[in-house]
Structure 1
């Protein structure tokens, strides 16, 4: 009889295998759009339109309208124009060609295409063409080709958004909003969490219940009253206003998370410090804060990502001028309007906006789970 290995020490259970496969599937599912955005940010608009990002390492076929150059030469049969559709320094491989926008791939390379009013067009695979007019032409014609375009990656999109689109200013504004909006609530919540965890005072349980209740209050309910309050005290739509707004919206989660973690710290250490004459402030700064670093880092990740990716609060509490736009507002209000069809520019701007959160997350992810599980077990 075969013996089931589930439950034997040192052997992997079937449940662990399913868990590992599920985690791998979710990671791949999450990485696919990120990789696609990254690859698209190095491609131009035409390449993105013609093929998906997963085909970017391979040559693509593009339909191109080419305005011919040169002068027609009169012959006994008519007027002839010769040249190369790729120009003097260009190169490529012609897949098909045509003489009208309606039929850009009507003929194969090397064929003589019969066009309207007795005109003919012949284009070789190398791009050399011969255009024949029975009568004297008034202008150079346009030819249409389907060409094999080799993969092309460049930094043009990033140069465009940083130099002409003003994304560099939006990046600095985002840092100006995010860093203080992450540090301020952590400082306040750390003191409040220690008091709620290790200090005895009246109504402590009531305050904890209020903090838990605030976690379920939608922030949209407080946007207008908070903006009115900011206008009354003179900070209005400014960086000070958005710092205080993010601080207020982030404090309930910060206090709840840090308090749960601090409650789980060894009581013997804290009581021994107090017996030795340490004050609450000394216990907090020298013992509790260093031991609570995983929880602090966990909340810092959440607050940083939430603040960095925020659009609603930024539109409410920041001035409407472009000098104060953060990256989310820049992309939503400017780039999507002025460059809505230029997917390469939008992909580059979007990847710049997610690059810093990705670095922060992968740098501090080891503290995330430890902080989230704070206080869940005893």
Structure 2
């Protein structure tokens, strides 16, 4: 009885589990990125985002107060303070050398190499003593292994959105990305809509062969065509720039666009188109007045995919844009630059990445109701 139309399948539970798994598979990275954008660099380096609500053990390098803050206590010169500036933390081990960061336990005293001694307590309080005045401009480095409670901060967003250096770079990259993405989304939709209509409703020799070629182009790897396409652009004088990037995204997006739109247009009622032809409508009028309005779900579906691909693209932008001057740097490339030459600043990377997905998320949620209808185009008659 399970195969009778209209009856409920006994495998419904498997479908629900699969859908829940797929949703979780896509949702967890986004949640992790969002949580990491509010964590400090030390927390990100020592524990995963799923542990962000729990205390974490961190290896920290902290400098004591500068020698100019020392006071005299009888015959001793003293520098006192707290390594955590009053923040809650508990030290489990500490040291004065990067090669031995856990030589001492809280409450023990270590001899400084430049003279004097230092004692560190579990809560971060320290006391440095010396019979002679401390010299130098900076404080002594103290390496501590401490357990710190969960901490969230908006400093990452302040650095990202309020720091003039970052703001100027991200703002320029934001508008550069829009300059690339909007035409690279509109152009293939326009071209593919005309091609899909011709393949769906116009009879001409070789139509079946063209459809087969388009289906075959769906499996051509993007990386395979990058260098030959760049050489073609350089050969015909296009060079590197926005035009070459638009054409590249258009070429790579057209096979899927034509395939998706053609499948949808084939499923439209034939009577509507035949009646329009009987009434004297031209092919162009049928296309613009009937086909395009009815095909909006498929158009919106492809627009979502194309917008997301071009917005998040780094490879095509690196190949077809000159970003050495920073005038055409897109957001993905700008985020890579924010990491620095040493590959650090992961908290800035998480924050910048989450800022960059704000526009794609807005586009997706605004048009997601058309996504399923567009993807199911041509599946039923």
Query: Above 0.5 in TM-score?
Result: yes
Query: Number of paired residues?
Result: 368
Mapping for residues 38-49 of structure 1, pairs under 5 Å: 38-49=34-45
Q: Contact conserved, 1:44 with 1:344, CA < 8 A, in 2?
A: yes
User: What TM-score, normalized by structure 1, do the two folds share?
Assistant: 0.84
Cα distance, 1:7 vs structure 2? 7.2
Find the counterpart in structure 2 of residue 287 from structure 1.
290
Mapping for residues 363-378 of structure 1, pairs under 5 Å: 363-378=366-381
Are the structure 2 counterparts of residues 253 and 13 from structure 1 closer, same or farther at C-alpha, using a change threshold of 3 Å? Answer: closer
Find the counterpart in structure 2 of residue 20 from structure 1.
16
Cα distance, 1:55 vs structure 2? 2.6
Coordinate RMSD, CA, aligned = 3.1
Find the counterpart in structure 2 of residue 304 from structure 1.
307
Q: CA separation in 1, counterparts of 2:259 and 2:3?
A: 37
Q: Contact conserved, 2:104 with 2:110, CA < 8 A, in 1?
A: no
Matched, 1:256 2:252: no
Q: Contact conserved, 2:92 with 2:147, CA < 8 A, in 1?
A: no
Out of 67, 85, 96, the residue aligned to residue 64 of structure 2 is 67
- SS of the equivalent of 1:131 reads strand
Mapping for residues 1-378 of structure 1, pairs under 5 Å: 13-62=9-58, 63-69=60-66, 70-75=69-74, 79-86=76-83, 90-96=86-92, 98-101=94-97, 102-104=100-102, 106-108=104-106, 111-113=107-109, 115=111, 121-124=118-121, 127-133=124-130, 137-138=134-135, 141-147=140-146, 149-162=148-161, 163-165=164-166, 166-321=169-324, 322-332=326-336, 334-338=337-341, 340-378=343-381
CA deviations 1:181-219 (Å, max 9, x no partner) are 010111111111112211223332233233223323334
Are the structure 2 counterparts of residues 304 and 19 from structure 1 closer, same or farther at C-alpha, using a change threshold of 3 Å? Answer: same
Cα distance, 1:169 vs structure 2? 1.4
- SS of the equivalent of 1:92 reads coil
Q: Contact conserved, 1:86 with 1:127, CA < 8 A, in 2?
A: yes
Q: Contact conserved, 1:80 with 1:130, CA < 8 A, in 2?
A: no
Q: Contact conserved, 1:122 with 1:131, CA < 8 A, in 2?
A: yes
Are the structure 2 counterparts of residues 9 and 257 from structure 1 closer, same or farther at C-alpha, using a change threshold of 3 Å? Answer: closer
- SS of the equivalent of 1:213 reads helix
Q: CA separation in 2, counterparts of 1:54 and 1:174?
A: 32
Cα distance, 1:319 vs structure 2? 1.5
CA deviations 1:20-47 (Å, max 9, x no partner) are 1121122112222221111112222122
Cα distance, 1:335 vs structure 2? 3.0
User: What TM-score, normalized by structure 2, do the two folds share?
Assistant: 0.84
Give unmatched runs, 5+ long, in structure 1.
none
Cα distance, 1:12 vs structure 2? 5.6
CA deviations 1:270-294 (Å, max 9, x no partner) are 1122222322222211211111111
- SS of the equivalent of 1:95 reads strand
Are the structure 2 counterparts of residues 126 and 161 from structure 1 closer, same or farther at C-alpha, using a change threshold of 3 Å? Answer: closer
Q: Contact conserved, 2:339 with 2:348, CA < 8 A, in 1?
A: no
